[in-house]
C-alpha cells in the first residue's frame, strides 16, 4: 500500500506529466531500446513507428496516477494488459528494466527532484507487483490445464487456405503431437517468428477462429502491405513450416447463458473472434436468437461467408445481414445492404432488452457501432469489444 504523502505527490505532479503528452513515452521507449535493444524482440516495433504503443502507455500512466488512491477501478485494464503480457512471456525482471527507464525519463525530461522521483518509484513498484502477481496466475493456469504449456511451444503449419482476396486462414498443429489447451471463444494466440530477413523477433496476436477441439488451432491473417508477419504468412509460409505459439490468452470472450440473445457484429478482419463465438454457439445448439452482422468492401473481400452460413444453419434462431460498401456487379445476392453498417436498418433483429453485443473491426467502425448502440438505448454493460493492437476506449 502507498502512504498518503506518496499519493499526494503523485496527484500533485500528474498535471505536469499530462502536459508532456506522448512525448514522454516516446522518450521512454527510445531510451529503453537504446540501452536494452534485446527488448525489440518483445515489443511490436510497428506499433512503435505508428505511435499507437506510445499513446497507449501514456494513457495508462495517466489513468494509474489519477486513480492511485482507488486502484480497483483499474482492474479491467490491468486484466487486459496482463493477458497481452503473458502472450509476450513477460518476466518479472523486465519490469525492473521498464521502471528504471521510466524514472530516468521523468528525471531527464522534467527534473522534478528526489521527492517526486521517489514517489513515482514507489508507485511503479506497487503497479508492477500487481501485474507480476496476476501474470503468474495466468501462466500457471495456462501451464496446468489439460494440453497446456508455459512460454512457447513448437507448432507446424498444417494448412494455409485463402478465404478472401486479402485473408488467409492458417491451421496449426503441435509438433509434439500432444493435445492443446482449450480456450474461450474470442481469445487469441501469439505467434512468435524469427525468420531470415527479420530485423528482430516478431510476436503477433491472432484471434482463434473456431471452437476449441483440443487438437489444433486456426487463425486468420489479413495481408497488410507493410506488415512484417502478415507478409511472411501470406507470401512465404508453407505447410510444414514451424512457428512457436504462446498459450491462448485474452480477456475478450463470450460467456452466454442458454437463454441469452447474442449479436455478433464485425467489419473486415474483425470477424475472426466472432467466428469462434458463432461456432461455439452452433456446437452448443444455442436456443436463443443469434444475429450475425458483418461489413465488407465487396464479395472478393468477404471471408468465411459459406462457413458462417453453415454454422448459422445449425442454430434454430439465426439471422444475418451483410453490408458491402463497394459491391461489384457479380455480388448480387451476397449482401443485403449497401454502404456502411447502419443498425437502424436491422433494429428489429437487435431490439431485445436481454441481447448481448460483441463487436470487432477497425477502430472507426467500432466507435460508430458503439455510438449507434447507445442511440438505440443499449446499455454499455451489454457492449463487449476488442481492439486489435494497443487498447483504446471507444
Q: Which of 337, 385, 335, 354 is nearest to 290 (CA)?
A: 354
d(CA 196, CA 42): 17
387 is in an annotated binding site: yes
121 is in an annotated binding site: no
- Residue tagged 453453415 (cell numbers): 310
Catalytic residue among 29, 124, 135, 358: 135
206 is in an annotated binding site: yes
Beta strands 242-245 and 217-222, pairing class: unpaired
CA atoms within 13 A on the CB side of 130: 20
85 is in an annotated binding site: yes
153 is in an annotated binding site: no
Q: Which of 136, 135, 140, 145 is nearest to 181 (CA)?
A: 145
How is residue 289 written as a grid cell? 436468437
204 is in an annotated binding site: yes
Cβ atoms 361, 303 nearer than 8 A? no
389 is in an annotated binding site: yes
Active site residue 29: no
124 is in an annotated binding site: no
272 is in an annotated binding site: yes
d(CA 313, CA 306): 10
Kindly state the DSSP code that residue 249 receives in the 8-state scheme: B
Q: What is the Cα gyration radius of the chain?
A: 22
270 is in an annotated binding site: yes
Active site residue 95: yes
C-alpha 365 chain-centroid distance: 16
- Which residues is 379 bridged to in the sheet? none
Catalytic residue among 27, 29, 64, 95: 95
162 is in an annotated binding site: no
How is residue 78 written as a grid cell? 490491468
334 is in an annotated binding site: no
273 is in an annotated binding site: yes
Task: Tell me how long the chain is.
Answer: 394
271 is in an annotated binding site: yes
Which segments are annotated as binding site? 85, 188, 204-207, 268-273, 387-390
Which segments are annotated as binding site for FAD? 188, 204-207, 387-390
Which segments are annotated as binding site for heme b? 85
Which segments are annotated as binding site for NADP(+)? 268-273
Q: Which residues participate in catalysis according to the annotation? A: 95, 135
Amino acid at each position: 500500500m502507498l502512504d498518503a504523502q506518496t499519493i499526494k505527490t503523485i496527484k500533485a505532479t500528474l498535471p505536469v506529466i499530462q502536459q508532456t503528452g506522448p512525448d514522454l513515452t516516446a522518450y521512454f521507449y527510445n531510451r529503453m531500446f537504446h540501452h536494452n535493444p534485446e527488448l525489440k524482440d518483445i515489443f511490436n516495433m510497428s506499433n512503435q513507428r505508428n505511435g499507437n504503443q506510445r499513446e497507449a502507455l501514456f494513457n495508462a500512466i495517466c489513468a494509474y496516477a489519477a486513480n492511485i488512491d482507488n486502484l480497483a477501478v483499474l482492474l479491467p485494464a490491468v486484466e487486459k494488459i496482463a493477458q497481452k503480457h503473458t502472450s509476450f512471456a513477460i518476466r518479472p525482471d523486465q519490469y525492473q528494466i521498464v521502471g528504471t527507464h521510466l524514472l530516468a525519463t521523468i528525471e531527464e525530461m522534467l527534473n522534478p527532484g528526489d521527492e517526486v522521483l521517489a514517489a513515482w518509484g514507489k508507485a511503479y513498484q506497487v503497479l508492477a507487483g500487481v501485474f507480476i502477481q496476476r501474470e503468474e496466475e495466468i501462466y500457471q493456469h495456462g501451464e496446468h490445464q489439460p494440453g497446456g504449456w508455459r512460454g512457447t511451444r513448437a507448432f507446424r503449419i498444417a494448412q494455409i487456405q485463402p478465404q478472401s482476396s486479402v485473408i488467409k486462414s492458417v491451421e496449426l498443429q503441435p509438433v509434439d503431437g500432444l493435445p492443446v489447451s482449450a480456450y474461450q471463444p474470442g481469445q487469441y494466440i501469439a505467434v512468435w517468428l524469427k525468420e531470415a530477413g527479420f530485423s528482430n523477433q516478431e510476436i503477433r496476436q491472432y484471434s482463434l477462429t473456431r471452437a476449441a477441439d483440443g487438437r489444433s488451432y486456426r487463425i486468420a491473417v489479413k495481408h497488410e502491405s507493410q506488415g512484417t508477419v502478415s507478409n511472411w504468412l501470406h507470401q512465404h509460409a508453407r505447410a510444414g513450416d514451424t512457428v512457436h505459439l504462446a498459450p491462448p490468452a485474452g480477456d475478450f470472450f463470450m460467456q452466454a447463458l442458454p437463454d441469452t440473445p447474442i449479436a455478433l457484429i464485425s467489419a473486415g478482419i474483425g470477424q475472426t473472434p466472432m467466428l469462434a463465438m458463432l461456432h461455439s454457439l452452433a456446437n452448443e445448439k444455442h436456443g436463443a436468437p443469434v444475429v450475425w452482422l458483418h461489413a465488407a468492401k465487396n464479395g472478393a473481400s468477404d471471408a468465411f461467408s459459406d462457413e458462417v452460413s453453415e454454422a448459422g444453419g445449425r442454430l434454430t434462431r439465426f439471422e444475418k445481414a451483410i453490408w458491402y460498401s463497394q459491391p461489384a456487379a457479380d455480388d448480387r445476392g451476397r449482401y443485403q445492404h449497401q454502404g456502411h453498417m447502419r443498425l437502424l436498418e436491422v433494429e428489429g433483429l437487435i431490439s431485445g432488452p436481454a441481447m448481448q453485443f460483441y463487436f470487432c473491426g477497425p477502430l472507426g467502425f467500432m466507435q460508430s457501432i458503439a455510438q449507434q448502440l447507445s442511440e438505440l438505448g443499449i446499455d454499455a454493460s451489454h457492449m463487449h469489444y476488442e481492439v486489435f493492437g494497443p487498447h483504446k476506449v471507444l
